[in-house]
Amino acid sequence: MDTIKNILKKYWGFETFRPNQEDIVNDILKGQDVFALLPTGGGKSLCYQLPGLVKDGLTIVISPLISLMQDQVKQLNEKGIKATCIYSGLSYREIDTALDNVRFGDYKFLYVSPERIQTRIFIERFKLMNIALIVVDEAHCISQWGHDFRPAYKKINELRTHKPNVPIAAFTATATNQTKTDIIQQLEFRKLATHEAPFTRENIAYRIYHSEAKSSRIIEFCSSVKNSTGIVYCQTRKSVKELTKLLYREKLSCGAYHGGMSKEEREKSMVSWMSGSTKIMIATNAFGMGIDKSDVRFVIHYEISDSIEAYFQEAGRAGRDQKNAIALAFFNQEDLDRLEKNPVIKFPPAEMVKKVYTTMCSKLKIAYGSGKDEVHELELKSLCEASKLDALVVFNSLKLLELNGMISVSDGFYNPTRVKIMVEMTTLYDFEVHHEKLKPLTQYLIRKLPGIFENYKKIDLNQISAFLKTDKKTLHEKLGNLQKLGIIDYIPYSKQPSISFLLERPPNDAFIMFPEIYGKRKRNQIKQNKAVVQLLTGRECNAKFVLKYFDQVTTDCGTCNHCVQKNQNYKNSEKKLLELCRKKTTISWLMNLTGMPEKSINKFVNDAQNEELIHINGRWIQKNE
């Protein structure tokens, strides 16, 4: 058998492991339960993928994000490793086929969303599978104290009742001691090996400034580092669109990424940024999970995250090559107000939540006592109109119903057109003899899509139309006819989010919102938001504050804005600022070089300009010689 170092070189191209990776791999191979707390960029996926290759049997990976699952499966398949995934939004037949293929097809990895592991079809097949390892990715989702709690994660330990001897490995990048303890208790670890990497990132300077001109400061900063790769995070799609227009107008190399874009648009934007063609990615927090780009020199928060966990994870995407990087955040009073109101917005009154549920079931024609395991497309706009509620209220109500374990909501991602031939080859040939007009299409499917008898295959209707010299409408009708005749299973593309019903609709919609949703969870949200406000408005070293939040002790970093200002301790700040203006500079860079607040820099600029000590050309400032 190859040694783990040989496998590391063969599949990942690395000669050596990153810190902690080899110890984690060895503990998993020994059959121990593992809890690993590795900060963003620590190489978590390799820690379970490598032992999953070595061990005899299938590795189940429970992951909360569809896009992340799809990316991981794609990367494994490109390495020649058999992997697939099942998630909310796939049809029952697709899930049935995938589980059969995994059981009989020598697959090494099955990625699955936490909601899917509760379904009868999954549990019955799981009992029959040769399982080598269960992996819980983003394990903080299991804890009500984590920043992204998912109730379905609480069901993971039930898998052990069916496979008591299969080890579990749990991974997260962000967890306080309280969250860590909760994860270990929830998963009922037995022979446990714990691995915790220090969160200190000495190469990242955490700079946080109050600003009344956030977009101007960002344009100044980005203009000064045109050849560097960076990310700018926003909280809303609207902010992404507006900021992208502003930077584009300034001829800065930038792209956008948010959940409202089509999969093709997002992929195009991603490829351009990963290749270096685009330097700056302006994105919501939908961007970043599972992306390992080492040369990111800066991460900017145009709008701050709702929790220290999210902020630290996003900022940590800078400087993975261990070279110096900057995590720059700007905030104003509007951001502070948003953080204060956030828990009220995220937790609509229970009667509104029930109204959304009732309206949704009525629209989808789901009767009392039915609906379990059904998947439906969700049209948010029509649901808002029917319930006569604001879009934000409806969206957050759906999230609460998800937290309550009643539904699973998949984000609006592009699901391509898929086809699978449902009959044997001999049956298909016999069918073609009696259906000459459909034969060119069935022959195309057989010849162009190998494996279509075993797996669902993505198809491009434009490509098939051109090849068969027919229009798309006629092609769609023919595929529909093949579906009606039982020859194929044909699933047209969808861009809509989908709703999976995890429970039957209760009589008269008489359900109870669990106390941890409206009580503990809301209080935890308030606590997280307050911590962010303290980070923004406090005077303590930023890195020290963040690490203390995660129950880790460290000294002042020396590189955040507070430390820079404290260490330089200017007796004559005006004189020092004037010296810095010898070279062409900007307000944002004067803030970064001195750690001084925007208000102080603006005062210096105004005074120095009035005294004709400096001149200003657009955003650029320079000393008069």
Percent of the chain with pLDDT strictly greater than 90: 53
- Comparing CA positions, the residue from 107, 108, 117 lying closest to residue 86 is 117
pLDDT in tens, 237-254: 899 999 999 999 999 999
Beta partners for 206? Answer: 327
Domain 4-196 sits in CATH 3.40.50.300: yes
Q: Can you give the three-state secondary structure of 293-330, one letter per residue? A: CCCEEEEEECCCCCCHHHHHHHHCCCCCCCCCEEEEEE
Task: Count H helices and E strands in the chain, helices first.
Answer: 27, 21
Q: Could you tell me what percentage of the chain is helix, strand and coil, using 3-state DSSP and rounding each to the nearest 5?
A: 50, 15, 35
Cα(179)–Cα(148) distance, integer angstroms:
11
According to the model, what pLDDT value does residue 279 have?
96
According to the model, what pLDDT value does residue 411 have?
59
pLDDT in tens, 301-341: 999 999 999 999 899 999 988 899 999 999 999 999 999 99
Domain 340-414+496-525 sits in CATH 3.30.70: no
pTM surpassing 0.85? no
According to the model, what pLDDT value does residue 197 have?
86
CATH topology of domain 570-625: Arc Repressor Mutant, subunit A (1.10.10)
According to the model, what pLDDT value does residue 2 have?
66
DSSP 8-state secondary structure symbol assigned to residue 17: P
Mean pLDDT across the chain, nearest whole number?
Answer: 89
| Phi-psi map region of 603: left, alpha, beta (phi>0 left; psi -120 to 50 alpha) | alpha
User: Which residue has tokens 């009989």?
Assistant: 104
- Comparing CA positions, the residue from 172, 202, 166 lying closest to residue 184 is 172
pLDDT in tens, 459-511: 888 889 989 998 888 998 899 889 888 898 888 776 667 788 888 999 999 98
According to the model, what pLDDT value does residue 233 have?
97
Grouping H, G, I as helix, E, B as strand and the rest as coil, residue 375 is strand
β-bridge pairing 229-233 and 280-283 = parallel
| Statement: residue 108 has pLDDT above 70 | yes
Angle at CA of residue 523, ends 518 and 529, nearest 5°? 125
Buried residues in 241-271 as b, exposed as e (16+ CB within 10 A)? bebbebbeeeebbbbbbbbebebeebeebbe
According to the model, what pLDDT value does residue 142 have?
87
According to the model, what pLDDT value does residue 569 have?
67
